[in-house]
Amino acid sequence: MCKYTAKDFKKGQPRWCPGCGDHFFLASLHKAMAEVGVAPHNMAVISGIGCSSRIGGYQYCYGAHTTHGRALPFAQGIKCANKDIHMVVCSGDGDSYAIGLGHVLHAMKRNMDITYIVFDNQVYGLTKGQTSPMSSKGFVTKTTPDGNPLTPLDAPSMALAAGATFVAQAYAIDMKNMVDVITKAVDHKGFSYVNIFTPCVTFNQFNTVKWYNGHLKKLEDIRENYDPHDKAAAFHLLSDTDSLVLGVIYEEEGAVPFGEIVPSADVRLADHVEKPSAELFEDLCMEFR
Ligand SMILES: Cc1ncc(C[n+]2csc(CCOP(=O)(O)OP(=O)(O)O)c2C)c(N)n1
Ligand code: SF4
Ligand SMILES: [Mg+2]
C-alpha cells in the first residue's frame, strides 16, 4: 500500500496575509489527511467564498471553489455521485453562519459522511472587516462603528441542537491539537463539524492571539473524565465556557450516516451514468475554453 505524506497534498503558494491563522490550518489539514492514509485522488476539498475559502486551490486533490454560502450543497451533490470520496468542506464564519446557515443546519441533520471545517476569525476578512454572526460584543468594525451590540452566535450548541453527530473546536495556532481533532473528524462516519478559531491579523484587532490565549480553554484542562458521547454534558460544557472550549465536544455513538438511512443514496451515481464519447467530451470542453 502506498503511504502518502503531508507533502503529497501541498500545492501552490497561499495568498493569505503573513500571520493569518489559515496558514496553520492548511498545514494541519495536509498532516491529518496523510495520517488518516487518504490518497489525494480519493479526496475533495470544496469551499465557499472568503479568504478562508481560497483553501480549495491549495491542495493536490479534487476540489471546487464554489459560491458564497453554498459549499455544502455542492459537496453533498458530489458525495451522491461518488460516495467513496473523502469530502472536506471548508468555509468561513460569514460563509457558514450568515448567508449559508440554512444549508448548514440541514446538512448537520442529514448526516452525510462529510467533514465540515469552519474558519472562525469572527469577522468578514475578504470584504475587509465587517461584523459577522460570530463577532464579539463590543467589536468595532466598519458596519458597527459604535461596537457590535450583539453577542456572538453559539455555533457549537446550535450544531448539537441541529443533530450534528460530531462537534469539535480547535485553535489554528495550536497545530498539534488541531491535527488530532481533524484526524478524529475525518475518521468519524457521518457529518463531522469542526469550528476552528483562527486569527485575522489584518481586520480583527479585537480577537488577537493574546485574546485567544486568554479566553480559549482546553477541554482536558477543565474536565476530568469527560465523556464526549454524553450530549447533556456537551451542552453543559458549552454553557459553562461561553463555548470557548477546544477539543472533541460530542461524538454520537453508533451514528447512522445518510447513506445507510436512505439506501438508495448509498450508490455511486458515477457508475450509473452513460459516459460521453471522446468527441462529445472534447466538444463540451471546447464550449468552456
Ligand atoms: C452572494 C454574495 N454576497 C456577498 C458576497 C461578498 N462576500 C464575499 S466573502 C464575504 C464574507 C467573507 O467572510 P467569511 O466567510 O467569514 O470569510 P473570511 O474572509 O473571513 O475567511 C462576503 C460578504 C459574495 N461574494 N456573494
Ligand atoms: S484579511 Fe484576515 S482572514 Fe484574510 S488573509 Fe488576511 S489575515 Fe487572513
Ligand atoms: Mg471570517
pLDDT, residue 274, reads: 82
Task: Give the ligand whose atoms come closest to the C-alpha of residue 127.
Answer: 1
Probe residue for ligand 2, chosen from 25, 26, 95, 200 as the CB with the greatest number of ligand atoms within 8 Å: 200
- Tell me how far the alpha carbon of residue 37 lies from the centroid of ligand 1, in angstroms: 33
Residues of the chain with pLDDT under 70: 1
- Ligand 1 atom nearest to 48, measured from its CA: 15
Q: Where do the H-state alpha helices sit in the chain?
A: 22-36, 71-81, 93-94, 101-110, 155-162, 175-187, 209-215, 219-222, 231-240, 258-261, 278-287
Please name the residue whose Cα sits nearest to atom 1 of ligand 2: 125
pLDDT, residue 263, reads: 78
- Tell me how far the alpha carbon of residue 161 lies from the centroid of ligand 1, in angstroms: 26
Probe residue for ligand 1, chosen from 49, 130, 206 as the CB with the greatest number of ligand atoms within 8 Å: 49
Local structure of residue 32 (DSSP, 8 states): H
What span, in angstroms and rounded, lies between the C-alpha atoms of 55 and 25? 10
Q: Residues lining ligand 1, CB < 6 A?
A: 49-52, 68, 92-95, 119, 121, 123-127, 132
pLDDT, residue 259, reads: 86
What span, in angstroms and rounded, lies between the C-alpha atoms of 75 and 71? 6
Measured CA angle at 12 (ends 6, 18), to 5 deg:
90
pLDDT, residue 150, reads: 98
- Ligand 2 atom nearest to 92, measured from its CA: 3
Whether residue 20 has its Cβ less than 6 Å from ligand 2:
yes
Please name the residue whose Cα sits nearest to atom 7 of ligand 1: 127
DSSP 193-225: EEEEE---TTT-SSS-HHHHHHH-EEHHHH-SS
- Ligand 1 atom nearest to 121, measured from its CA: 20
Burial 65-98 (b: 16+ CB within 10 A, else e): bbebbbbbbbbbebbbeebebbbbbbbbbbbbbb
Locate cell 475518521: which residue? 187
Please name the residue whose Cα sits nearest to atom 16 of ligand 1: 94
